Structure formats: structure tokens, C-alpha cells
Structure 1
């Protein structure tokens, strides 16, 4: 399938179930729409129930032949560990899960350091810790269907490859460093998850994908989902040679989630790195450093209190 993959015409995904974080706008919305258009059932999650309802309504308008239950909304705030646990418990009660797209995140961090209700730096918590906890909580449902988890990487990890020695940025906080460190941590966790899943014999693949340079001003306007100003459209269209829409940016994420030929531990992104159809790529060196990954994994365990149930997941499928 790799040589004939067409992101505009996905394979039939009828009978499959996926969860996408941050589904109410941007990459998460378009990934959800593409999955549903191919016949899948999607748990669309986000922090704001009204925005989730607007996104679900947009799906119904744009994919009128989708099954009535194809899009199910679920409130999930990845910056709040209580919200993560609650949402995961709800999903676990629905049976197996074919895929988990760990997409939600803060792209424009606050100018000064802020903390969550759990006491963690908000960017690291939202982009990395919440997804680490969610993936651990849903590991067994994924294993029951030989499922897959996809972590959202970023071009920024190659531009300024900060080592997250202090992932919570207790000192030296800047908005840019907070964002890049969170993405280094997220990508490293994705690769470390694959190593640990293989070692434990758990039939779940962990993949990392990035959307290239995807902007809202290059993205179709959709009521309740994407409504950039004229100024934003003008500025983003000036970058047409290197930028693409969020709709196209979601292609790499969706392929990483559903292409059966993709193996755990791979890294996928747009053909020209910034834009284009998805292809396999090489992640930045720091994200592939196993010592860095082990350190970040321990930091995530300590911060969230979540220990992934590898033995239980393997036992659930008799392996």
C-alpha cells in the first residue's frame, strides 16, 4: 500500500474506532473528518464542549453519508490529569480501540511560565504529560485490536534541539523553549514507547508524525472550526511556496495512524518536509537519543503517576 497511498482516498476503515485529541479545530478536526469519511468511528475530544459540538456539526455537514454515531464527542483536557483519567475510563468501557492520535497541544505558549491545576508547567503538561498518561490508560484497549498510537512531532526539534534536562522549565522559561522542549519530549516518548512495547510483547505500534508547516490561513473556512481573518489569509498566502493547509497537514498524521505497512518507531511527515504528501523521514538526533528518552519517560511517570500496564496489556491478548 505504501507505493499507492492516496491521502484523498483512504482505505475502507469501516468497523474501526479511533480517538483524536484536540478534534475541534486544526489538524485534529481534519484528521477526524478524513477518518470518518473513510468509514471509521471517531471519539472527537477537546476541552470545550461547545466547540466540540460545532466541530461535530461541521462533520455532519461535510460528510452527510457518515453513520449517525461516526463522530462522538468527549470532553478531554490533556493539561488536566483528572480529565485524562475520566475520559480514558469512559473509552475503556466501549471495548477495543484501533488507534490513538495524540494531537492536542499548545502551539503559542504564554509569555511567562504558567502551571496547571496539577502543578505542572502548562505547555509540557498539555503537549506531553497528558498524552503520556492517556496512552498508558488506553494501552489495553489498543492491544486488544493490535492498535496504534501516533504522537505529534514538530519541525522545531531540528531547528533548536533543546535537551529537556529540566522539562518543567523551573528556570530559564521562554515561550519558544517551552514549545520546542515539549515537542522533543513528545517525540522521544513516542520512540521510547515503541521500544518498550516491543520488549514487552504488546501488539501496539507507536509512531511519530509531523504536519510540516501547516497554517490556518491556507486552510478552508469552516463555520465553528476555522475562520481566519482576511489579514491572516493574506499573510499565510504569501508563504504558499512553503506552507500548506491544516487539511493537508493532517495527511501525515492519518497515514501514520492507519497505513498497515507503517512500523512502530517510524517518523512521518510531508514530502518536502514543510508541505506535500506524507513520506517516511528521519527525526532529529536528540529525539532518537535513548538516554534522553529514558530520562523523559521517568519524568513523565513521576509527574503523572502513570505506569504503563505492559504486562496486563500483553496478557489481555494472550501474548
Structure 2
């Protein structure tokens, strides 16, 4: 089957049977994370819905219970801006059993107007939430993913094509704006996704790292769900004015979900909507910055320095050898 045939054969509204699979989704209480969880559960997977607010997590779990017959979901407290929370959640998830994939989705979409730092480590908040927490989470789950030959999906953005990346100031200590913080965090997330793929291949570890973006997905064009998506009338009106170039959050989840579960997708691939801002998922080409190995090496080293985390590639390789013995 050619790539074009594979793309046309995939139906995002009729996913393959995922019974027996277990997926962890960060930021699962709303937006893309919620709809990704709903779609995975609807295909029979067990979904670990993670987020930092227990009440919103409970509401999102209840919503899936109402909308998906026989859904198998559980919740996990996880605040990606707090590395202690990330490590505790990873330990809990790893102890619960198999993990076939993790969707690194949680993030700040509307950053603070002024530069803000985390309480635990003093890191710039948007970078910590969108990037550093996921860097640590993926590292902590690497052994679990190795055992299942699993997959990690990093959430990118169309904003990565706008060149908002300063290699010398990842935390934006100078010239901070909310837009720069968001765009640079998404560049860094994509860079890490591709760099992780290179390092996993070099280590011989059968875990795939894939990058996906949701296009231009907005709440105002998304179905209202109590406790999950309740846009105001003004938001509905404004978002529908952009209907020719936007789509719902439900449709926005199509690309990251396919990146997570389609067995024909290989590590290092980049997926997004067919019309860039909207549409069915298809393979795309990421920005040159995202794919640059030199940038990948630099960002990886920065994340190691900022988090104190070094991925256990050697340990994962030993685990793999023991399993094969």
C-alpha cells in the first residue's frame, strides 16, 4: 500500500480496534486532550487521563462515560509544570501495568503577558509546562514503553513555521512576550520529538517518537460538553467567523490520535491536517529548524540542564536484551 493509499484508507471516525492497549494522555480534561481520550476509548483502548485539576478530570471522565458505551478510563493527577508531580505520576502510571503510548499534549495555549516562573524550580512557566515536564515524563516512561515497543507523540504547532526560536535564550529571559513563549515552546517540543527519534534509533530501542500538530482547532466550533467545553456566545460567534480556516477540537485530535495508533506510521514522521489548518490527517514536512540535528542536540542538552534528567537509554537497552534472552 502506497502512502497516498494509506492516507485515503484511514478513517479518523472509525479507528482500528484498540482493545488491550493502554494510552496515557496529558492535559486530558479539555480540548485536544479530552477528544483524543474520547476517541481512543471509543476504539476500545484503556485511557489514563491525566491533568492537574482533580475536579476537571472527574468531569471529563464522567463526560466520556456518558458519550462512550463501555469506556475504560481512569484519571491521574499530573502537573507538567512541576517536575515532582511529573515524576510521581510517571511512577504511578508505570506501576499500574503496560503502557503502549503516551500523548504529550498538555500545555499553555494562552501564556501570561509577563514572564512567569514555576514555584518549584524557577523555570519559565510556558517552557516548563509545554516542554520540560514532557521531556521528564517521556524519560520516566521510557522503560515501560520499551517493554511494549510503544510510541510517544509530541504536540507541535503551525506556529513553528514562523521562526520564533532563540537558541541562546530558551527561557526568554530577554524580550519575553506571550506569543514568543508559546511559539518557541512548540518549536522546542517538535525539536525534542525528532531528536528523541534519532537517539532511540541509535540506541536500538524499539520506541517510536512521532510529532503531530492539530491545525487551527478552536473551542467555538466544538460541541458543547458540560465540564469540558463550554464556550461563550461571543467565542462561538468569533470562532465561526473563521470557519473556512478552522475546525473543531474533535477534528483537531485526529492527527495526534493517528500519530499515536496507526501502525504504518514510523518514528520521526510529522503529521497534521491535510489542508494545514484543517482536515483529515496526513504526513507533512516539519520546519527546517525542527529537523536540524544541531538544534536538536542543543535543545536536548538545554532540557537536560534545566531538568537534571538524562534519558535512561542504556538501561532501556539492557531491559530489552534481558527480555529477548
Query: What TM-score comes out, normalization by structure 1 length?
Result: 0.97
The aligned counterpart of 1:234 is 237
Instruction: Render the CA deviation track for 1:92-116: whole Å, top value 9, x for unaligned.
Output: 1122210000000001110000000
The aligned counterpart of 1:125 is 128
CA–CA separation in structure 1 for the residues paired with 2:9 and 2:51: 33
Choose which of 32, 37, 54 in structure 2 pairs with 1:32: 37
Q: Which consecutive unaligned segments of at least 5 residues does structure 1 have?
A: none
Matched, 1:134 2:137: yes
Over the aligned positions, Cα root-mean-square deviation in angstroms equals 0.9
Q: Match of 1:106, SS?
A: coil
Instruction: Render the CA deviation track for 1:55-83: whole Å, top value 9, x for unaligned.
Output: 000000001232xxx11100000000000
Q: Match of 2:257, SS?
A: helix
Matched, 1:46 2:51: yes
Choose which of 286, 308, 321 in structure 2 pairs with 1:305: 308
* Maintained 8 Å contact 2:21/2:100: yes
How does 1:100-179 map onto structure 2 within 5 Å? 100-117=102-119, 118-179=121-182
The aligned counterpart of 1:20 is 25
* Maintained 8 Å contact 2:164/2:180: no
How does 1:268-279 map onto structure 2 within 5 Å? 268-279=271-282
CA–CA separation in structure 2 for the residues paired with 1:164 and 1:46: 30
Shift of 1:2: 4.3
Q: Which consecutive unaligned segments of at least 5 residues does structure 2 have?
A: 1-5
CA–CA separation in structure 2 for the residues paired with 1:6 and 1:240: 22
Instruction: Render the CA deviation track for 1:221-252: whole Å, top value 9, x for unaligned.
Output: 00000000111101111111000000000000
* Maintained 8 Å contact 1:2/1:261: no
Count the aligned residue pairs. Answer: 316
* Maintained 8 Å contact 1:164/1:181: no
CA–CA separation in structure 2 for the residues paired with 1:291 and 1:163: 14
Q: Match of 1:88, SS?
A: helix
Greater share of helix residues, 1 or 2? 2
Q: Match of 2:309, SS?
A: coil
CA–CA separation in structure 1 for the residues paired with 2:295 and 2:315: 26
CA–CA separation in structure 2 for the residues paired with 1:113 and 1:125: 12
CA–CA separation in structure 2 for the residues paired with 1:3 and 1:313: 36
Matched, 1:86 2:91: no
Instruction: Render the CA deviation track for 1:148-185: whole Å, top value 9, x for unaligned.
Output: 00000000011234233211111111111111110111
* Maintained 8 Å contact 2:7/2:281: no
The aligned counterpart of 2:3 is none
CA–CA separation in structure 1 for the residues paired with 2:33 and 2:284: 21
Q: Match of 2:34, SS?
A: helix
